[in-house]
Structure 1
Amino acid sequence: MRLGRRSFTFGLTSLAFSGLALSGCAASRGSATALSEGYGPLREDPAGLLDLPPGFSYRVISSFGDPMDDGLRVPDRCDGMGAFDLGGGKVALVRNHELKPHHGDTGAFADAIARAGEGAGYDRGADGVWLPGGTTTLVYDLASGRVERQHLSLVGTIRNCAGGVTPWGSWLTCEEDVSRAGDGLGRDHGWVFEVPATAPGRVDAVPLRDLGRFNHEAAAVDPRTGIVYLTEDRDDSLFYRFLPLVPGQLARGGKLQALAFVDPALGSDSRNWSEVVLGVGQWADARWIDLDGTDSPDDDLRKRGNAAGAVRFARGEGIHYGDGEFYFCCTSGGAAKLSQIMRYRPSTFEGRAEEREAPGRLQLFVESTDGAMLNFGDNIVVAPHGHLYVCEDQYTAIVDNHLRGVTPEGRVYPFARLRVQTEPAGACFSPDGSTMFVNAYSPGKTLAITGPWGRFPG
């Protein structure tokens, strides 16, 4: 598998976190309520959008309804997003839009229905118009702070929630929907699609069927092996890995598996809802179960996997790779059902027969016991300076969502507060580490945040 400059930079970013995290493993034990002051108190935003610590600022670079360069408009419901190095200080952002079939009036074609038949797509509704879910791509100049171009890059899908960057320069966009063909839909949904970051227009929407059909949330790739790790947004979800036949060429197929515990005394439930299975900081050896019938027409893949011994997780959400390990959120995990952050460290022999003797390991890294600590963690990213950042997505009539930072010792702090009634989503960093990009979900906006990253007083 060939790794370019983007993946090399990403590996350095991840290494910073991994090294710090390893040194903080012992400190994270029993630190489920540990809080940090972070960068200091958040300052109230005069524009009423995003409160940030002293020294940080943001600019809105793209908004729902803005005209795009392809004659369409920026769709709403901006969710997962990935950043890619284009060289020369330019960054490509591939951004999900979590739109359902009835959201056509907030999709890219709302002001250009006559053009709905042009270009590539996956599935059309009963009216013949492409389903509005998909992705847009932005080219952003870090020096000028301007978007040079934005266009629709994938269309015809449903509820593109999260996803993940690949080391070979593409975005894996995931459908959080398992609708079947019929009732106005021409094709089955519940797939992962691949969008090259440099694609100048819409790409052919080819479902990566061997990655499974389920209520997908996010994906992350180990650049050393090409193995893809996948989360599922269900209360009884599984944690999956995909072993590709050819690393970097996912459409050529492979094998889908689900994580289980080696120790039978741990059972098959990591949620800690009724009893503590994993304590904060505790590690457990992992094994992987082969799955069959992964096209899952009855949406029962997770149930069949659990019956075979695979571990249940409480709504797997965002996942991100740090050098040598993965971090993923379980939105409703823990006794308080407020959030868990899991860490998976692959085996030296990951995906090979030898891993039985030296298995990968799963750790409960953080478990929230209070909404003021972490409240329904969703998207997650590893920052270049060595902290995690988690986007909250609360499920209450009135929300008070934050971006929460997590130190390598498992201490949580508020980094930003979204002042509008929606969720922050899609947090990711420019390859040079200077800028965090994040979305306000709806009405959709994409923000670029700059400041003294890494000069952490707390």
Structure 2
Amino acid sequence: MRQLSKTSRRSFLKKSGIATVGFMGLYQFVQPNALANTINAKAGYGALLPDPEGILNLPKGFSYKIISKMGLEMSDGLLTPGSPDGMGTFKGENGKVLIVRNHEISPDDLEKGAFGKKNERFKNVSADLLYETGKGQLPGLGGTTTLVYNPQTGEVEDEFLSLAGTIRNCAGGITPWNSWLTCEESTVKTGSYDGRLDLNHGYVFEVNAAADKKLNKAIPIKEMGRFNHEAVAVDPKTSIVYLTEDRGDGLFYRFIPNEPGKLYNGGKLQALAITGEKSRDTRNWSDLDTPKFKKNQPYKVTWIDLEDIDAPEDDLRHRGFEQGAACFARGEGIWFGDGELYFACTNGGEIAAGQVFRYTPGVSEGKANESTSPGTLELFAEPNDKEILKSCDNVAIAPWGDLLLCEDDKHPFVVGITPKGEYYKLAENVGYRTEFAGGVFSPDGSTYFVNIQGAGLTLAITGPWGQRA
């Protein structure tokens, strides 16, 4: 068992802005035979109680508030977009919380867009700031909104469009320099939608976390590759960006920037490979005749340089796999902890119900001598029981060390895993047959924000986080 030193715990708390709860550290998660494949209400906060409003079941002492709803007018005169997905939180002024939120919307899904059912409000924004205007007829309706949340009142004080002209912004990730990276889960090309699209899609964009009510100019970070992006996580020590791909045969990538914190200044895109095992299949599907990827076993990795990363034929993953990269079953949410990161694969595992991997960067990660002490990849969780976990998607690490997973299902839960490896249910969506998305804590750890995607709702959950059942 590996434990964090008191020094590293204090360092994490300082970086996180969390001073009330001791960080247990996810290093304690994976140890032989430790993952108990059962739900234990006492491991979390107790049984989920029926919600009188019929929306969200929570443990005793917890409550929620709907803080944003699709279709309502925002501070900038536009409409709150639908299909909210990945989110990041940042410290604002005077104790406020800035929430940057993705919207997984296609260009023709006008009812969910910020510009109205006929794009009638499109004229109210500067088209020069959008990535895709669709010849002025079909602008990209994905992008991000920014919310200014007051934890003292539980109210959103401002809400505005902060990135526009992109398509199906699924998840993303926070950066150490207070910005949000938002990812297009789409590879549609110029000329799509009956010739109305002007540009290729499938990129990562950067959004400043600010309360200025400004629309950021949407500029793709093309050197991060063009593929069906899902989420990213940034190592605060190196500025290396790790990226997941939402494909059944997707790869796991890293982007080494030429200049730390300056992602638009270029860099190198690589794909993860298992040392000594060319083109390793990690999916563990029962109908595969490939070796099983074992739980709790650290596999040493190497990284493969990728070419032609703009991939006009959306074949980057195929070429990377042929070069020897490992493949994964729909890489989804990813989150960086204290020296390691976790990412979910929605339909990995023997019954295709989901996997969670842990990647630990090497001592010299991304440097010429990294092969002397390479990073390692472990299969952290694969319960193969849908009563425990199904279709895990967005991932967040709680300030005290639990891993929280949003399920992408018509009857979803937010599932927690403790540092002892016990599973529990934190929340149950009983009001809408649609997934949870974007679960993330406020910087001080007092509030857990989560979306009910199909309903277009963003909720703030509070309660006795430090008190186990």
Question: Normalization by structure 1: what TM-score?
Answer: 0.93
> What's 1:433 paired with?
445
Select the residue among 130, 137, 150 that pairs with 2:139: 130
- Report whether the alignment pairs 1:269 with 2:284: no
For residues 22 and 378 of structure 2, what CA distance do their matches in structure 1 show? 19
For residues 220 and 46 of structure 2, what CA distance do their matches in structure 1 show? 45
Could you say if the C-alpha distance between residues 164 and 290 of structure 1 is closer, same or farther in structure 2, counting changes exceeding 3 Å?
same
- Report whether the alignment pairs 1:23 with 2:28: yes
Could you say if the C-alpha distance between residues 209 and 393 of structure 1 is closer, same or farther in structure 2, counting changes exceeding 3 Å?
same
Select the residue among 298, 302, 306 that pairs with 2:317: 302
Select the residue among 186, 202, 205 that pairs with 1:177: 186
- Report whether the alignment pairs 1:450 with 2:457: no
Tell me how far 1:66 sits from its aligned partner. 1.3
Secondary structure in 2 matching 1:51: strand
Partner amino acid for 1:325?
E
* Contact persistence 1:7–1:168 (CA under 8 A): no
- Report whether the alignment pairs 1:61 with 2:72: no
Partner amino acid for 1:416?
A
| Counterparts of residues 22-421 of structure 1 (less than 5 Å) | 22-27=27-32, 29=33, 31=35, 33-37=37-41, 38-110=44-116, 113-117=119-123, 118-119=125-126, 120-126=129-135, 128-182=137-191, 183-198=195-210, 199-264=212-277, 268-273=280-285, 274=288, 275-394=290-409, 399-419=410-430, 420-421=432-433
* Contact persistence 1:170–1:194 (CA under 8 A): yes
Deviations 1:149-174 (A, max 9, x none): 00001111110000001110111000
Deviations 1:364-409 (A, max 9, x none): 0000211111010000000012101100002xxxx21110001123
For residues 112 and 7 of structure 1, what CA distance do their matches in structure 2 show? 47
For residues 249 and 22 of structure 2, what CA distance do their matches in structure 1 show? 33
For residues 234 and 17 of structure 2, what CA distance do their matches in structure 1 show? 12
Could you say if the C-alpha distance between residues 123 and 221 of structure 1 is closer, same or farther in structure 2, counting changes exceeding 3 Å?
same
Q: Which moved more, 1:145-154 or 1:114-123?
A: 114-123
Deviations 1:191-230 (A, max 9, x none): 0000101153111000000000000000010000000000
Structure 2, gaps ≥5 residues long? 1-10
Tell me how far 1:129 sits from its aligned partner. 4.5
Deviations 1:50-81 (A, max 9, x none): 10011110000110011101111101101111
Could you say if the C-alpha distance between residues 7 and 111 of structure 1 is closer, same or farther in structure 2, counting changes exceeding 3 Å?
farther
* Contact persistence 2:76–2:213 (CA under 8 A): no
* Contact persistence 2:110–2:119 (CA under 8 A): no
Partner amino acid for 2:217?
D
Deviations 1:9-39 (A, max 9, x none): 33869x965x533234325x36362432221
Deviations 1:76-131 (A, max 9, x none): 10111110111421011011110001112220000684441422211123553522
* Contact persistence 1:6–1:431 (CA under 8 A): no
Tell me how far 1:269 sits from its aligned partner. 0.8
Tell me how far 1:446 sits from its aligned partner. 0.7
Could you say if the C-alpha distance between residues 288 and 7 of structure 1 is closer, same or farther in structure 2, counting changes exceeding 3 Å?
farther
Partner amino acid for 2:144?
T
Secondary structure in 2 matching 1:427: strand
Could you say if the C-alpha distance between residues 371 and 7 of structure 1 is closer, same or farther in structure 2, counting changes exceeding 3 Å?
same
Deviations 1:347-372 (A, max 9, x none): 11100022101000001000021111
Could you say if the C-alpha distance between residues 24 and 426 of structure 1 is closer, same or farther in structure 2, counting changes exceeding 3 Å?
closer
Which of structure 1's runs of 4+ aligned residues deviate more than 4 A?
Answer: 5-8
For residues 320 and 299 of structure 2, what CA distance do their matches in structure 1 show? 19
Q: Which moved more, 1:276-285 or 1:306-315?
A: 276-285
Give the share of equivalent positions with the same residue, in percent: 49
Could you say if the C-alpha distance between residues 111 and 7 of structure 1 is closer, same or farther in structure 2, counting changes exceeding 3 Å?
farther
Secondary structure in 2 matching 1:413: strand
Deviations 1:238-291 (A, max 9, x none): 000000001111011100000001132x85111111355322211101110000
Question: Normalization by structure 2: what TM-score?
Answer: 0.91
* Contact persistence 2:202–2:228 (CA under 8 A): yes
Deviations 1:332-356 (A, max 9, x none): 1111110000000001110002210
* Contact persistence 1:381–1:389 (CA under 8 A): yes
Structure 1, gaps ≥5 residues long? none
* Contact persistence 1:9–1:431 (CA under 8 A): no
